[in-house]
Structure 1
Amino acid sequence: MNNTLADREDGGAPSASSQGTVAAPEATPSKPRRGRPPGKQAKVAAEQLRRHHFTFVRAAIEGVPLRRAWQNYLAFEGGPDDERHFAARLGKLQTLIHQAASDRGLGAQAQRALARFSTVELEATTTPGPAIQVAQAIPVIPNLDEWVNQRCAELGIDWDYQTQADWLTDYEAAFGLDQPAPPQSASRALAELERPTLAYPALPALQEQLASLNALASTLARGPALSDPLSSWLSADLTRRLNQVGALTLQQLIGFINLHHHRWWTQVPRLGQARGDRILAWLKPLAEELQLPLKEVACKPLMQLTLARASTLARLDPASQKRFGIVPLDRLAVPPEIDGRHGLFRIPGDNTLGVNTDLEAIFAWLRRHQESPRTSASYGRIVERFYLWCLWVQKKALSSLVEDDFHEYRRFLSKPPADWVQTQRAGREMAEWRPFKGALSQSSQKLNFSVISALLSGLISAGYIRANAAAGVLPAMKLQHFGLNIDRTFDDAQWSWVMHCWQSLYDKCGPGARAESTADKSFLRAAGLRRTRLILELGATTGLRLIELVTTRRGALKREVVDGQAVWILKVVGKGFKPREVLVYDDIKALIDQHHHDMATAGTDFDAKNPRVRDLLNPDARLESNLRDCQSPLPLPFPAPSNDGRADASGEVASDPTLLPLIGALRKAPPKWALDANGVAMMDRSAGGNADRYGSLDPTALYQSLKRFLGTCCELAEAAGKEIDHEALGRASTHWLRHFFANSAAADNVMPAALMAAMGHSSLQTTSIYLRTERRLVVSEMSKMRRRG
């Protein structure tokens, strides 16, 4: 049987009972004792003690406040942020150290090491084992800063009354700290472990105690290993949460963080950023020691790394940045033997593109689509991964591909290799960038081959190549025809429930029904719901696309008289830069006015420091001062500013109400990473403001806002047991509003020509899909059939 803690009060010698003296048995057997056997709780294995445990105890001995010692050395373990917990943990560690030392015959050394503490209130700790003899606590000595602040307050002087060196001399004299340095042997022992920064020089009386503790640490503290279970390092609660995501050991935890990057903690149930950051700060030096370091993308925000790398690349020669690899095309260096100069289908001589290689031809073809940023970006992604496949997989020039190569590429698209797939966000300038996000669906494959075929046709017409080897692949793919899915819409029951949910949520935070005042109980929550109602109503009655909702401005809304009726007409520039007009009802105009009032209250309606304004041509925002000088013949979705972004007579930049977005932001953008004057990435706290000068929303922000609301409606429907299609409602998005508008208009017998104009379709054939003529004809005619018995 293992000896208990009580058996070793003499520093390791076994007690009489452990040497064979056995008490006489009782006449009748005693009732079994409930709970753990005596001494079981105190018995621990030495491998449970780690270096940070000794560092925490040493900090307490040296007078570091328990809270600071906990935050510096043990906070990553988890547990309550409470002084009683810190003291209880210290008491338990004393017991563990003494027990482990006794098992090794080092009980006397443990007695010296744990003789006294300077800042520990013994009553707050768990009751130590009988082998721990803690002497009376020595007086607490303040650190230098605390003592100087106290002296300045007493004498009525400032810090700069004398130099730092003079303050240190007075401090050492006041507490008798001006003693000789400890012996070399003690210094060597102190260097064996990470030593906490002392608030004051160690007292000579503590040197022997600290030397004993460090000697124990060298003997008892077990070094880390990649195979260590997390339970050896973290609290039971943290271990359980990390085990749920498959991180059982230190090696698996490092791999998990490297996989999920800087915001890895979002993948762990109820972990949170604060505890995630503490774990990361503890794990980073440990991982380096174990020769399995954390990646840079796991330790720093992606935007910070992106800016830093962009700053570095800007200082380099562009030619030196190019290489042959799975990299973006703008950083790709192609070997001469496969660059297309001698391709199988190359036409010798000049061509209308004025290019010599396949890569140059690709860039020239993409420039034809640069007037439409979204189309250009989509085509660029498709052509980029196709050309990288040509070089890396087929090892051929683009101008040398034959039809069999394209069949191979189709199989590649359906299941790209893992090293071609990007699992986490990474900028195009980063080494982790990859051309695929995963396998492509059949509809995406069809789009890819359509773009590739268009590329090759364009190169043929330019006189660069003489044949399009992909021309016969697309018809032979036999893929399902993916037309416009007009069933992605709300039915009457779903729409009624969505409106009911909105009203219920708004009643909880909007103006009180019984209150005389119209003040909101929670302004931002109520204003956000009012904006959601505006999105729903505007989308369901005008059919505006997502990009049109965020780029159309108030100046495009005019009061017009049509056939003697005064109505609100909204002029929109939509897909393909095609202008159209839609009708806005009076009650929705009132919602727009209320939303703009909310923006003014929130302070997001105008930001004079921001020079950018979004438009359809450049949703990422263009300079307002360049709007009037825009040479594009296409109409803008809002008028040019009257003051052209210039300052008025007072020197202030004046606001132009016509540039307010129909739907805008209600919160200012958070601070962003930026480069300082030295090119170092830093968080720019002054950068928080509007996304553009008049508070326009990013399309993704509007999309996610509506998705969250519709997700809430779905959850409420399931909880209430509503007989509606919950699954479909959970998939609803902003584009469902456009289909809902068209389906509702068709059901109300709106003329197809009017619906075509309102939707902005280029062909009546597209609009006729909503009429469901074929379906109605089939149902009407087939219902005439007589059932045969």
Structure 2
Amino acid sequence: MKKSWIHQGTVLIRIGKHHLAFLRAYLEGLDIGDISQRYLETAVEPDSDLRIAKTTLKWIRDQLMVVAKRSSKVPNPRVILINPDKLVVANQKHLPTLEEFREERDPYEMYGESELIEMFQEEFGGISGKVDRKSTRNERLRKKQIDALFYFEKLLGVAPTESDSLHGWLDPVLADRLQVAQIENIGQLIAFVNSHGYRWWRLVPRIGEKAAAQIIAWLNTESVQESIKIRVGKRSSVKSSALKTLEPAEVRAKQFGMVPIEYLMLPDQFSGVAGKNRNPSNWTNIVDDYDAIHKWLKIRTKPNSHTWRNYRKEAERFLLWAILEKQIPLSSVTGDECSDYILFLSLLDSDPSSPPGWPFKMPCSAWTAPRFLERSDPKWRPFEGKLTNASIHQAVTIVRSLFSWLLDVGYLQHNPWKSVPLTKKSSRQTVTRAFSFYEWNYLLNFLENQERDSKYDRMRFILIFLHGTGLRLSEIVNARISDIKRVQYVQSGLKPDYELVVVGKGNIEGNVTLSDKCLNELDRYLHKRGLENRFQCPENTYLIGRHRESAMRKGKSILDEDTEVVVDIADDKLQSSAIYQSLKQFFKKAILPLKEDIRVAEENQNFEYAFSLREMAKRIESGSTHWLRHTCATHMLASGVSIQTMQSNLRHKSVDTTSVYINQESSVKNAEINAAMDLLYKR
């Protein structure tokens, strides 16, 4: 039976230039560990005992011997099997000069020179001749090794190309599995890898992480990169956790196009250096539009905060729209373009086909992509899909703020948004992104029927704690035990209460009341994570974190078992995306029983009930962490909590904002109207 790549040590079946470079360096006596790290695709995991390097060395030699049998052009091919240590001449004995020999044996100069030479030859002549002969032989063998490698390079030095079939380079089993995923050649492989990132191999049947790592290492070798112009992106070679420590330029090259602002390269005609609205007497040190946006972001809010990301998102969207759709710099935008942008935002949809009467050059599909793609992902787009009126209002407000600042600092001559009417939020706001009591009870009952594991423990805490506090995602992610404060009363004898100190929108600090139920759930969750209760565990403990038993390597980033999102073990903190995605996964799982109930209802021709279930399933699937904040507000107010208390807990600036959660239940209105109609038609 033919050996697999695992036994051979490499995923390749064909010698490449990098293999010959490795063998040449080895035969020259360089350290095998060092050169394997430099040249080999197999150097993707720890190899302290050099087992992998030695296995690959044997495979290279075996492959070359097979080639030598097929060709008579290689002179003395077997010399490459001689290890470099065999060609080292041992320094058996120091050979002194004649003067040194005289000083040692004839200090009083009793012998003539001819006699001294004769004595020297008797003592050292045999050794010297032996060493010289061995050195000469070894030099001859080294030259033969170099000659053999030269001929091997001529026979095997064909560099891979993008159109090469993978079956010509990779182990046939691996090539077959890649073919199942419609990956036939090297060019398609690189495109697939770059499109799906570090964990691309999960989309290919029965290809594991080790094989994938070797394939990427091979594609990244110098010899492959010399012959193939397209490169494997950094995000495909490095784990997500490591990407965050790199500069954007190390992750992805800058370019002009539909890319995030940190990867955007503006040519002169779009840079704004000659923008029509630029102030000729510009007294600022702002160079161009790109620089202007970054300086605005820097002075507006704390870098990488939720608010900062929102500001960057809206500035980025408008910049891309100006240069790609209108094909003008940001500093050349007029009031007409600003009005068109509002129209664009209102018509935008995630549907691949642009809506009827779409008035713009670029289709909707060019602007939208699924949420939570990495910003370094080539599939990233600035929009997810259709925007609500509130989202459009916020987008325009932020862009207006940018242009007002550019005018204030003297970068622009005038503000083009001044001539554009303000977008208005709907005068009648209703909260639709909140679960009803029935839907909420359904979710809790569904949760209780799940397996009692770490996923259950975390989800139970998230649901109950966010339902009881109304915290935003960014607030619960950063909350620690040290943020829980005891409330001091003037009166004595009262049961102590506790509040959570959070930093919310605009970096404003606020206090959120913690109910006994929330505190009990917190203690329970801490215990399930292998920690003490909130009074005894370390103060820097995050309220939401991993279970201790999943920490495989302390202090390093690993994949979280529950969400498959990278987490940092050092401080036990979960990323926002981990919590968000775990909640979305739970909601998707929760609608599965509803789908079965819908099927049964339709079979029984109970179409009204099926319609109600379908609407409920849509709402649950749309749920998110922010839905829990809205649900908290609506449920608390409906249960008798005062609007002033909820305003304080939600940290709204105005009670008007909180009042949108108060509405007359539709069921009450419907009951009154139905009662009136019954009365009218009974007469």
What's the offset of the Cα at 1:452?
1.9
What residue identity is the alignment partner of 1:256? F
What residue identity is the alignment partner of 1:592? L
Q: Which residue of 2 aligns with 1:558?
A: 486
Counterparts of 1:559 and 1:722 in 2: how far apart (Å)? 52
Q: Which residue of 2 aligns with 1:343?
A: 277
Matched, 1:745 2:636: yes
What's the offset of the Cα at 1:451?
2.0
Tell me which of 576, 581, 596 is aligned to 1:699. 576
Whether contact under 8 Å (2:461, 2:522) holds in the other structure is: yes
1:741 alignment partner, SS class: helix
Q: Which residue of 2 aligns with 1:376?
A: 308
Tell me which of 647, 650, 658 is aligned to 1:759. 650
What's the offset of the Cα at 1:375?
1.7
What's the offset of the Cα at 1:276?
0.3
What residue identity is the alignment partner of 2:556? P
Matched, 1:568 2:568: no
* RMSD across aligned positions (CA): 6.5
Counterparts of 1:379 and 1:474 in 2: how far apart (Å)? 18
Q: Which residue of 1 aligns with 2:522?
A: 592
Counterparts of 1:362 and 1:752 in 2: how far apart (Å)? 39
Tell me which of 505, 509, 517 is aligned to 2:452. 505
Counterparts of 1:664 and 1:498 in 2: how far apart (Å)? 23
Q: Which aligned pairs between 1:100-249 and structure 2 lie closer than 5 A?
A: 181=140, 188-193=147-152, 224-235=160-171, 237-249=173-185
What residue identity is the alignment partner of 1:403? G
Matched, 1:540 2:467: yes
Q: Deviations over 1:172-196 (max 9, x none)?
A: 9xx9x977735978853443336xx
Q: Which aligned pairs between 1:40-51 and structure 2 lie closer than 5 A?
A: 51=15
Whether contact under 8 Å (1:569, 1:581) holds in the other structure is: no
Q: Which aligned pairs between 1:715-730 and structure 2 lie closer than 5 A?
A: 728-730=619-621
What's the offset of the Cα at 1:541?
2.0
What residue identity is the alignment partner of 1:569? Y
Q: Which residue of 2 aligns with 1:449?
A: 396
Counterparts of 1:404 and 1:74 in 2: how far apart (Å)? 56
Whether contact under 8 Å (1:339, 1:359) holds in the other structure is: no
Q: Which residue of 2 aligns with 1:671?
A: 556
What residue identity is the alignment partner of 2:208? G
What's the offset of the Cα at 1:241?
3.4
Distance 1:401-1:243 versus aligned 2 partners, 3 A rule:
same
Q: Which residue of 2 aligns with 1:121?
A: none
Distance 1:715-1:434 versus aligned 2 partners, 3 A rule:
closer
Q: Deviations over 1:389-429 (max 9, x none)?
A: 546765656565333222444577645799999997466xx
Q: Which aligned pairs between 1:188-337 and structure 2 lie closer than 5 A?
A: 188-193=147-152, 224-235=160-171, 237-285=173-221, 287-288=224-225, 290-295=227-232, 297=234, 298-300=236-238, 328=262
Distance 1:253-1:486 versus aligned 2 partners, 3 A rule:
closer
2:313 alignment partner, SS class: helix
Q: Which residue of 2 aligns with 1:406?
A: 338
Q: Which residue of 2 aligns with 1:779?
A: 670
Whether contact under 8 Å (2:41, 2:214) holds in the other structure is: no
Q: Which aligned pairs between 1:606-645 and structure 2 lie closer than 5 A?
A: none
What's the offset of the Cα at 1:243?
2.9
What's the offset of the Cα at 1:363?
6.0
**Would you say how many aligned residue pairs link Structure 1 and Structure 2?**
547
Counterparts of 1:581 and 1:231 in 2: how far apart (Å)? 63
Identity of aligned residues (%): 23
What's the offset of the Cα at 1:287?
3.5
What residue identity is the alignment partner of 1:271? I
1:192 alignment partner, SS class: helix
Counterparts of 1:416 and 1:670 in 2: how far apart (Å)? 46
What's the offset of the Cα at 1:707?
4.3
2:498 alignment partner, SS class: strand
Counterparts of 2:554 and 2:584 in 1: how far apart (Å)? 20
Q: Which residue of 1 aligns with 2:443?
A: 495
Whether contact under 8 Å (2:41, 2:217) holds in the other structure is: no
- Of the structure 1 ranges 717-726 and 736-745, higher mean CA displacement relative to structure 2 is found in 717-726
Q: Deviations over 1:689-741 (max 9, x none)?
A: 534xxx55443343344445555555688799999755654544333332332
Whether contact under 8 Å (1:746, 1:770) holds in the other structure is: yes
Whether contact under 8 Å (1:571, 1:579) holds in the other structure is: no
What's the offset of the Cα at 1:480?
12
Whether contact under 8 Å (1:49, 1:222) holds in the other structure is: no
Whether contact under 8 Å (1:578, 1:760) holds in the other structure is: no
Whether contact under 8 Å (2:306, 2:474) holds in the other structure is: no
2:140 alignment partner, SS class: coil
Q: Which residue of 1 aligns with 2:605?
A: none
Counterparts of 1:548 and 1:383 in 2: how far apart (Å)? 24
Whether contact under 8 Å (1:553, 1:658) holds in the other structure is: yes
Counterparts of 1:501 and 1:230 in 2: how far apart (Å)? 48
Counterparts of 2:631 and 2:496 in 1: how far apart (Å)? 23
Counterparts of 1:277 and 1:454 in 2: how far apart (Å)? 47
Distance 1:706-1:341 versus aligned 2 partners, 3 A rule:
closer
2:630 alignment partner, SS class: helix
Counterparts of 1:179 and 1:771 in 2: how far apart (Å)? 93
The gaps in structure 1 that reach 5 residues or longer are 1-47, 60-67, 119-139, 146-171, 195-213, 314-320, 507-524, 607-654, 674-686
What's the offset of the Cα at 1:769?
3.5
Whether contact under 8 Å (1:543, 1:741) holds in the other structure is: yes
Q: Deviations over 1:118-159 (max 9, x none)?
A: 9xxxxxxxxxxxxxxxxxxxxx999969xxxxxxxxxxxxxx
Distance 1:418-1:304 versus aligned 2 partners, 3 A rule:
farther
Q: Which residue of 2 aligns with 1:514?
A: none
TM-score of the superposition, structure 1-length normalised? 0.52
What's the offset of the Cα at 1:343?
2.7
What residue identity is the alignment partner of 2:444? S
What's the offset of the Cα at 1:773?
1.7
Distance 1:355-1:734 versus aligned 2 partners, 3 A rule:
closer
Distance 1:481-1:363 versus aligned 2 partners, 3 A rule:
farther
Distance 1:660-1:537 versus aligned 2 partners, 3 A rule:
same
Whether contact under 8 Å (1:546, 1:699) holds in the other structure is: yes
Whether contact under 8 Å (1:460, 1:468) holds in the other structure is: no
What's the offset of the Cα at 1:763?
3.6
2:210 alignment partner, SS class: helix
Distance 1:328-1:246 versus aligned 2 partners, 3 A rule:
same
Whether contact under 8 Å (1:287, 1:294) holds in the other structure is: no
Distance 1:760-1:421 versus aligned 2 partners, 3 A rule:
closer
Counterparts of 2:463 and 2:448 in 1: how far apart (Å)? 13
Distance 1:181-1:657 versus aligned 2 partners, 3 A rule:
closer
2:495 alignment partner, SS class: strand
Whether contact under 8 Å (1:498, 1:713) holds in the other structure is: yes
What's the offset of the Cα at 1:278?
1.6
What residue identity is the alignment partner of 1:291? I
TM-score of the superposition, structure 2-length normalised? 0.58
Matched, 1:549 2:476: yes
Distance 1:487-1:277 versus aligned 2 partners, 3 A rule:
same
Whether contact under 8 Å (2:248, 2:262) holds in the other structure is: no
Distance 1:599-1:247 versus aligned 2 partners, 3 A rule:
same
Tell me which of 570, 582, 587 is aligned to 1:690. 570
Distance 1:553-1:113 versus aligned 2 partners, 3 A rule:
closer
Counterparts of 1:342 and 1:350 in 2: how far apart (Å)? 13
Whether contact under 8 Å (2:195, 2:378) holds in the other structure is: no
What's the offset of the Cα at 1:242?
2.1
Distance 1:775-1:357 versus aligned 2 partners, 3 A rule:
same
Q: Deviations over 1:47-99 (max 9, x none)?
A: x995579x99xx9xxxxxxxx9xx999989xxxx99xxx9xx99x999x989x
What residue identity is the alignment partner of 1:771? I
